[in-house]
Structure 1
Amino acid sequence: SAIVGCNPEEVKVGMDVELDFLDIGKQQVVYVFKAVAG
């Protein structure tokens, strides 16, 4: 993630946000694939 800090909780939040963006990207790819295939 782009968030860097000495506080472990801040680092964890940054990682969670990054993972959420990755999950959203995967869902969009699947949605587009289904729309084209459907």
Structure 2
Amino acid sequence: MKIKNSLKTLKARHRANRLVRRKGRIYIINKVAPRYKARQG
């Protein structure tokens, strides 16, 4: 999982990326290609 300051550009890298808020943190999850998982921090 990558930890990035801004997720906007990472979200655009793959069509299946989803932006999710969990426990006050913002995550990108991707069921098709899990290597795109990221967290904002």
TM-score normalized with structure 2 length: 0.22
Q: Which has the higher strand share?
A: 2
Q: Which has the higher helix share?
A: 1
Structure ranking higher on relative contact order (CA contacts 8 Å, 6+ apart): 2
TM-score normalized with structure 1 length: 0.22
Larger Rg: 1
